[in-house]
Amino acid sequence: MTKQNHLDPIRRKPMLQRAGQVLFAMGIGHGIMSFVLFGDLLREIWIAGPGAGSSWTLDMMAAFWFIVFTWLMVILGLIITEAGRLGHLPFQRITGWSFLIVPTICGVFLPISGLWALMIPGAMMLWDRDSAKKSVSSQIM
């Protein structure tokens, strides 16, 4: 029995890679929307400088967290894409389910939100997990 190379195309998970790419693209779109929606507020935050957060208005806080969430989506998208390339994402099932459950719970309180879009990469991660089982079992037989 030969040991498979960790970059062997058989082990790669294309749906997981696409889920990461979708999340990355969503993060870039989120960043663009940050500047479209909150450009003036982000400029005020920048001018106020470090340590001025205690004097921010609620709108400034919303703008700040909107841009922070952009970075989280981009970096997580890159991590998931690389995991798909390598053929492994630790905790893939819990990550996928989290991307389905969190928007659902948040949607109860804030139904008109872009958070629902996180369900797309979540479903893709769960779909890939199931299809990966089938491909592994077919290799064993």
- First CA to last CA distance, the chain: 13
Is residue 69 packed enough to be buried (19+ CB in 10 Å), middle (13-18) or exposed (0-12)? Answer: middle
40: pLDDT strictly greater than 90? yes
Q: Which of 14-23, 24-33, 125-134 has the lowest mean pLDDT?
A: 125-134
Average of per-residue pLDDT across 34-58: 93
Classify residue 112 by its DSSP letter.
S
E strand map for the chain: none
Q: Taking Cα atoms as reference points, which of 8, 15, 59 lies closest to residue 38?
A: 59
Q: Which residue has the higher pLDDT, 19 or 11?
A: 19
- Answer yes or no: are the C-beta atoms of 69 and 30 closer than 8 Å: yes
CA distance 123 to 92: 11
* pLDDT tens track for 73-103: 999 999 988 888 887 777 788 888 999 999 9
Report, as an integer, the average pLDDT of 96-117.
89
76 compared with 12, residue with greater pLDDT: 76
